[in-house]
A and B are shown apart, each in its own frame.
Chain A
């Protein structure tokens, strides 16, 4: 098959899975701990940042995106991009409502 890029099916070893597992557990602990420190406007940012890191770890290693074709990475990116479009464009309405002329 000439067109779709073929490459051998990379088998991810348990070593990497264990590493990622520990990273995720540590991140969970940190995010729970961080919740008890009142960082004002930063606490939601930190919480979501840690969640994003955990999600990226799961996607890249557990879901093998790290080892699969560029098209798959593009698809995942397109999904999250559309989700962000929904969030930001809707909030752009709600945020700008307070600017005087409703």
Chain B
């Protein structure tokens, strides 16, 4: 039987590069696959049981072998068995599933944070060190990476099949997922929640690299200014420092080292300050007002883009002293002309190594001390 070479070549190419099982490239993948095979086992057993019963009985009791059917009412014992056994099996699946769920959706504290902004039909990754990527994400292997994700418009869903993780990226609220890549390579990134015309074009690649390869990439592709520095410029240009100057008499609460602390609100309840709280308070300040302060902060809903909010959140997370805030404040009291010269010279050393230390392997070179005029319009509305 002669197969034409064209068809033969087509079949070979076809069957060789087709996948049957996703690669196991993250720490959670083996656990997910083990649970998957356990569930398949249960299904095969269940199907086999039903199959044997049905085919066996229909062969043994077909009409010509058993012309008269005998009346059987039923037996509570049998009913009990095929209620308890499925229930028990399903409960095992429930517990196993719950453990896996809580494991995937609770990031460890030492995870390296990366911000993801989903926008109609592209993914933007924002590394704290200042690397900005579109439709791709470079991550080091063997290190927990936490993604803090938000959408600018509609529901998207950040899915990396190779890592077995997926999280809906919704507008209006951060959602997080974490993973720890274990195998280098390039993996698929999909948007799995239908988000409009080019939903199937909203794909990308996850590049898992060895830590030092990641260092080299990070150093090479930084945009020069870390997110915190963009945040600082935005913080100044939006005039946040006029209220949050950190002095005792300031109208706004002191933001230095506020991240992670337990804050008391005007209604007496306590809340831990995390990314979500910071973003929510910038957009809807009066829902949760810090104790002892008046709800006079205006809303910035619609004035700051999601990237701007990420920069601000990142800035507040890294703000340890109000020194620079007061510097920019006193500088802006002078006439605007002189501001450019004086403030850029005095970027305090504390800030630089502070940034290098918090961002880990991030921004190796000190921030460029060019003439960073205080009101850099670029970062306000990307």
**Chains A and B directly touch (beta carbon < 8 Å):** yes
Counting CB contacts under 8 A, is B214 at the interface?
A: no
Number of A-B contacts (CB under 8 A): 8
Q: Which secondary structure dominates chain B's binding surface?
A: mixed
Q: Mark A72-102, 1 if CB is under 8 A from B, else 0.
A: 0000000000000000000000000000111
Q: Contact between B106 and A101 (Cβ–Cβ < 8 Å)?
A: yes
Which chain A residue shows the least CB distance to B271? A98
Give Cα A24–Cα B272 distance, bound, in whole angstroms: 47
The minimal Cβ–Cβ distance linking B233 to chain A, given in whole angstroms, is 30
Chain B interface residue number, banded:
under 10
Which chain A residue shows the least CB distance to B106? A101
Which chain B residue shows the least CB distance to A97? B173
Report chain A residues within 8 Å CB of B175.
Answer: 102
Within 8 A of A (CB), among B256-278: 272, 276
Report chain B residues within 8 Å CB of A101.
Answer: 102, 105-106
Q: Mark B95-117, 1 if CB is under 8 A from A, else 0.
A: 00000001001100000000000
Q: Contact between A102 and B276 (Cβ–Cβ < 8 Å)?
A: yes
The minimal Cβ–Cβ distance linking B275 to chain A, given in whole angstroms, is 10
The minimal Cβ–Cβ distance linking B347 to chain A, given in whole angstroms, is 36
Report chain A residues within 8 Å CB of B106.
Answer: 101
Which chain A residue shows the least CB distance to B176? A102
Give Cα A100–Cα B102 distance, bound, in whole angstroms: 13
Which chain A residue shows the least CB distance to B102? A101
Give Cα A101–Cα B272 distance, bound, in whole angstroms: 12
Give Cα A102–Cα B170 distance, bound, in whole angstroms: 13
Give Cα A102–Cα B168 distance, bound, in whole angstroms: 13
Q: Mark B290-316, 1 if CB is under 8 A from A, else 0.
A: 000000000000000000000000000
Give Cα A100–Cα B270 distance, bound, in whole angstroms: 12
Which chain B residue shows the least CB distance to A100? B272
Which chain B residue shows the least CB distance to A101? B106
Which chain B residue shows the least CB distance to A102? B276
Report chain A residues within 8 Å CB of B102.
Answer: 101
The minimal Cβ–Cβ distance linking A59 to chain B, given in whole angstroms, is 37
Give Cα A100–Cα B105 distance, bound, in whole angstroms: 12
Within 8 A of A (CB), among B77-130: 102, 105-106
Report chain A residues within 8 Å CB of B272.
Answer: 100
Give Cα A101–Cα B108 distance, bound, in whole angstroms: 12
Give Cα A92–Cα B124 distance, bound, in whole angstroms: 33
5 pairs of residues in contact across A and B, judged by CB atoms under 8 Å = A100-B272, A101-B102, A101-B106, A102-B173, A102-B276
Q: A residues bordering B, Cβ < 8 Å? A: 100-102
Given contacts A101-B102, A102-B176, 6 further A-B contacts (CB under 8 A): A100-B272, A101-B105, A101-B106, A102-B173, A102-B175, A102-B276
